[in-house]
Amino acid sequence: MKNRLCEMLGIRYPIIQGGMAWSSDGTLAAAVSNAGGAGIIGTGGRTTEWVKEEITKAKSLTDKPFGINLMLMAPNVNEIADVVCEEKVAFITTGAGNPVPWIEKMHKAGVKVIPVVPNVKLAKRIAASGADAMVIEGMEGGGHIGTMTCMALLSNVLKDKYPIPVLAAGGIADGRAMAAALLMGADGVQMGSRFLLTTECPVHEKTKNMIVNATDTDCVVTGYSRNMGVRCLKNAFTQRYLEAEISGAPKEKLMEMGTGTNRMAMKEGDIENGSVMVGESLNVLNEILPCKDVIEKIVADAKATLEKASLIAL
């Protein structure tokens, strides 16, 4: 399963792990990379020192390429970017800000840049900006979301050809979805939620089990009416938040209500008062496996789906 994305990053399979805050550390990133994908360390909410330590840890666990998710609105983004350049991490993905001003700095350090984009306008801008690849992310994914679905983005963005690899993300959690993205013209996929349910992921066991036991109607989007949508599982926190949102609470109050809740759920295991950020494809997220087994199953199922598709006569 080789293509221009695999060749660009030096990976076996066109699968990138999402850089999830409080979930993606050096151990998980290394495990994904060792399994043939590209692991990512998530820096959201983290100190610069933590990021450097996790890069060192990942390097001790793998000799394969891995990346960093750079949150561009983070107060310590400049310091983290300097660490990325000093450590010569293989690539970065970006979110929560304009990635264009960062491309030259990263390229000078030999770091590839893969921005996450939510619409056609930004996709065209990124493709012309010198980025090495891009991720088009639909609203079916967990955590902070945009307004377009993954299928609509694939239809709209991939109507045109791009000089750089284009990855699909948002609700892609198994090999069938990966095959669909490839058939639509994507060069690969980014998966976040599926790697939450791995033995190497540091997410609390109570949180993992909540995801395993969830069904398709158990997720909800908070903050959508204020242009700050976050997809997570229904619990006491989301009920309080949505009641405040519907009643017209100011945006500042809602932001205050959400602060720290992701850490509470993912790290501390508070599945009632924390924000359990996970995507919509919940019924295929039903077992906790090592990253190696997860990727092997995804690839096998994707190949089987692609072979089946080739036999369908219209």
Full DSSP string of 107-167? HHTT-EEEEEE-SHHHHHHHHTTT-S-EEEE-TTSSEE--SS-HHHHHHHHTTS--SS-EE
Residues 196 and 127 in one domain: yes
Residues 99 and 245 in one domain: no
Q: Tell me the average pLDDT across 289-311.
A: 94
Residues 47 and 146 in one domain: yes
Residues 26 and 119 in one domain: yes
pLDDT of 313 > 90? The answer is: no
In sequence order, which residues have a C-beta less than 8 Å from that of residue 75 and are 6 or more positions away? none
Chain segment 88-126, per-residue pLDDT in tens: 999 999 988 888 889 999 999 999 999 999 899 999 999
Total of domains in the chain: 2
Residue 59 lies in a domain: yes
Residues 221 and 298 in one domain: no
Residues 71 and 106 in one domain: yes
Residues 103 and 230 in one domain: no
Residues 103 and 220 in one domain: no
Residues 147 and 257 in one domain: no
Chain segment 173-183, per-residue pLDDT in tens: 999 999 999 99
pLDDT at 153: 94
Chain segment 18-66, per-residue pLDDT in tens: 999 999 999 999 999 999 999 999 998 899 999 999 999 999 999 999 9
Query: How many alpha carbons fall within 13 Å on the CB side of residue 208?
Result: 17
Residues 237 and 134 in one domain: no
pLDDT at 221: 97
Residues 31 and 106 in one domain: yes
The C-alpha atoms of residue 277 and residue 301 are separated, in whole angstroms, by: 25
Residues 59 and 81 in one domain: yes
Residue 280 lies in a domain: no
Residue 64 lies in a domain: yes
Residue 39 sits in which domain range?
4-201+285-310
Tokens read off for 42? 């998530």
Residue 277 lies in a domain: no
The C-alpha atoms of residue 273 and residue 226 are separated, in whole angstroms, by: 21
The CATH number for 289's domain is 3.20.20.70
- Exposure string (b/e) for 50-87, b if CB count within 10 Å is 16 or more? ebbebbebbeebbebbbbbbbbeebebbeebbebbbeb
> Is 0.75 surpassed by the pTM of this model?
yes
Q: Tell me the average pLDDT across 2-23.
A: 94
